[in-house]
Amino acid sequence: MNQLEQLKKFTTVVADTGDFQSIQAYTPRDATTNPSLILKAVQKDEYKPLLEKAVRDNLDNSIAETIDHLLIAFGKQILRIIPGRVSTEIDARLSFDVEGSVAKGRELIKLYEQAGIERERVLIKMAATWEGIRAAEILEKEGIHCNMTLLFSLGQAIACAEAGAQLISPFVGRIYDWYKKSTGIDYVGAEDPGVQSVRRIYNYYRKFGYKTEVMGASFRNTGQILELAGCDLLTISPDLLQKLADSNAPVERKLSTESVPGAGIIKLSQDEKTFRFQLNEDQMASEKLGEGIRAFCADSGKLKQIISGMR
């Protein structure tokens, strides 16, 4: 078996793309999208009909509503290909707005259900800010499951688990990027700070019995992926999926319930003051969270400009 096939024995593989052909090629169970991936997709000729239809069908609606319908159109197509779930992200401008995030999550699920898609097949994706986590807590109680993204610290992960979030997406590659730039060290294997962060979160969840799923995300190389073999899920870009498929080197399971250390993991709790203080003290996490929100807002803005020019 190639490495991708071996990895699927230990971990649920998720396609990190809005490209339908890539999803079909690698047969993942789930798929994730974000504003940057959707922006990239709609600029390709093969996806312009989806964009044109969303614009045409929403001429009397706002641009924000048009984008919602475009996201649902991509989600519907993806769900025809995969057997599992698709993650659909809310507008990053709502990252500090509990009420707005809850309203948008409900709205997206309503659109999916009107299209005949049951809510169990959709994850509403939002930033792991304090406000995003509180919104997820409300939505989860309504049976609307959430994928908490832009997650860079154990504190964020604990708060998400205590809120009952379905899934978290710790960003391995962006943590690696920050430490590489900060220290000048090109981290490899188990020494990679992004890998260590996910391992710490996975062990913490297993130690204390949290049900929230851990999905490593934002990978820069296959080495990071292989170091997390055994994680609940890993969302992987098409280029790295191909590299895994092209290699027949052995894959060893690195994470499991049995591998969790018996000692040294202390139970922590996250109220709002503790959460905000710890995030502020973690320079990497606070910088990458803010940077990620700004980047997603920028790409959403570009998508709005494209749609505005078509109306």
Q: Which of 8, 104, 125, 254 is catalytic?
A: 125
DSSP string, 251-262: ------GGGS-S
The token duo for 140 is 């989860």
Measure CA 250 to chain center. Answer: 27
CA 157 to each of CA 103, 111, 201, 300: distance values in angstroms, whole numbers, following the listed order: 23, 29, 7, 26
Burial (CB count <10 Å: 0-12, 13-18, 19+), residue 100 = middle
Strands (E) across 211-283 are located at 213-216, 233-236
- Does 267 participate in catalysis according to the annotation? no
Q: Are 145 and 166 in contact (CB under 8 A)?
A: yes
Question: Nearest 5 degrees, angle CA 57-CA 78-CA 127?
Answer: 85
- The residues assigned a catalytic role are 125
